[in-house]
Amino acid sequence: MPFSHLALGDSYTIGEGVDPEDRWPHQLARTLRAEGVDLEDPQTIAATGWTTDELDAAIDAADPDGPFDFASLLIGVNNQYRGRDVDDYARGFTALLERGIGFAGGRPDRMLVLSIPDWGVTPFAAASGRDLDGIARELDAYNAAARAICEARGVAFVDITAASRERGAEATMLADDGLHPSATMYTEWMRLALPVARRLLQPPGTTP
């Protein structure tokens, strides 16, 4: 039986500006299948602009038919964009993480979280008049909180923020809007998530 996957998030999961097959969760499934790990393309609950509470409400509305063999979560950039503080984010993130674990059959070892990329390096941000250093500091605080929450629950946390900062201003890494990632950037994120997802989906007792 193939592994089922529930992907939860915002624009970075729905892949604003790219074709569905170029979203990072779809690239992940395709790459793992090529390696012999039969991971289905995900059921996705995500939309551009969603905050933690909006994603939470959307999960209620979608009422996904779990359990799933695997779940992923990437959320928070819109909380930061709207000026919400880190404590507010941590509460919303914790609730979503617990829901994700529940959808993964109550198994934190089948849950994968990606850090929030830094949109402050993009041309869109440079033209926005926002405090770019402030964006970086706030996102660092958000990601530190998310990492600690994941570690406390035994959930894998993959840092894609560094990659977004290193290459996120390059034209080839951006969609046409100068803000959202291109398929090439999603490939970079997928490569970071791949070894972790591979490990999480291994049968018990196998060696990485």
In the chain, where the domains are located = 5-200
Q: Which CATH architecture has domain 5-200?
A: 3-Layer(aba) Sandwich (3.40)
Spatial distance between the Cα atoms of 84 and 77, rounded to a whole number of angstroms: 10
- 111 C-beta neighbours (distance < 10 Å), count: 28
More reliable by pLDDT, 203 or 61: 61
Question: Could you read off the pLDDT of 86-98 as tens digits, one per residue?
Answer: 999 999 999 999 9
What kind and span of H or E run contains 45?
Answer: strand 43-46
Average of per-residue pLDDT across 74-92: 98
Sequence-ordered list of residues with C-beta below 8 angstroms from that of 156, at least 6 positions apart, any chain: 109, 111, 112, 113, 150, 196, 199, 200
Kindly tell me the sign of the dihedral angle through the C-alpha atoms of 8, 14, 51, 120: positive
What values do phi and psi take at 111, rounded to 5? -115, 135
pLDDT at 82 over 60: yes
Predicted confidence (pLDDT) per residue in 5-55, tens digit: 999 999 999 999 999 999 999 999 999 999 999 999 999 999 999 999 999
